[in-house]
Chain A
């Protein structure tokens, strides 16, 4: 017997809101990347390049 799967169909408004939430998450993740990059430079300074090749 085939299993019945309940699906949710989002309305256009819900899709728009979902997209805005996704954009906000993307923005927050991008900001985190920038913060960690910048603080690494600040904390290590020129030492960030000082490693054996």
Chain B
């Protein structure tokens, strides 16, 4: 019997226990599908949806930063950040293949589905990690390269290997990995880490917990089955709803900081206030509506709105820069 024959999640988890212990499976485990990976399976290892967010936020960091970078260097910087982000996704899928196999959302990923071996995914992830960091360092600057290396390390080792299976605060600390790309984009242009790039980092850092906890409220059964200690599984839904509200209250003023610090204009200032209030409103709905299908719906709406919130904030920063709109005077 091969991996792909295990339709039942429990059986598949048992079959994949080899991954958890040795990270290696024999050729026989893969049966006829051995060596049968399509190019798109390797692209799937890079987590293209996460990568698109990485590209977008890095681009905004790069465009908003003061100074000039040749368009080709900018393109290379974005490419390296995207590949580095994808590489950390591949390393994450290599390490998490056992829990991916038991969650419906992730069971069809290339490794648990048996299309790519763990060893192949590990080699792919490591090669792209080293390649993207060296390329960014050599062709753009070493601060940006160093930050990319730290981001990959943070996501693959600190989040995936260390925190994810041990603490319900996994998302809070691990979220830093997803918050680094705009800082790397900024560093690619300026060669420095400044308060502005830290604010761009903080917006995503504070946004991540309410975003993922809203999803975790809906998918808590999946996380429970995979024994991933997400907050609703470990501390319960009530605590999760409170935490979502607390982080939303912290996020809303941080979202306005670019305007207060004088690197965003009046459009951004007004929009960030309005979106921040809507974000708090969505969190309040999640906090107050706790029973029945409406509770599930409000968590789903919170998750959907959180994506729109981050996209609109960053898109407005980009729009203001491209349109040449003046920034507000710094109030801090």
Q: Which residues of chain A have a CB within 8 Å of any CB of chain B?
A: 8, 10-11, 13-14, 17-18, 20-21, 24, 35-36, 38-39, 42-43
Contact = CB atoms under 8 A, between A and B. Distances in A.
B35 A20 contact: no
Contacts of B139: 35-36, 39, 43
A8 B42 CA distance: 22
B38 A20 contact: yes
B72 A17 contact: no
Contacts of A17: 35-38
B7 interface: no
Interface of B: 27, 32, 34-39, 42, 70, 72-73, 76, 79, 139
Given A13-B36, A17-B37, A38-B72, 9 more contacts: A11-B32, A14-B35, A14-B36, A18-B35, A35-B76, A36-B139, A39-B72, A39-B73, A39-B139
Given A17-B37, A24-B39, A42 B32 contact: no
B73 to A, nearest CB: 7
A23 B34 CA distance: 19
Nearest to A27: B39
B73 A42 contact: yes
A8 B36 contact: no
Contact of A21 (B39, B72, B79): B39
A14 B79 CA distance: 30
A42 B37 CA distance: 38
Contacts of A11: 32
17 contacts: A8-B27, A8-B34, A8-B35, A11-B32, A14-B35, A17-B36, A17-B38, A21-B37, A21-B42, A35-B139, A36-B139, A38-B72, A39-B72, A39-B76, A39-B139, A42-B72, A42-B73
A38 B70 CA distance: 12
A43 B79 CA distance: 18
Contacts of B38: 17, 20-21
A35 B139 CA distance: 10
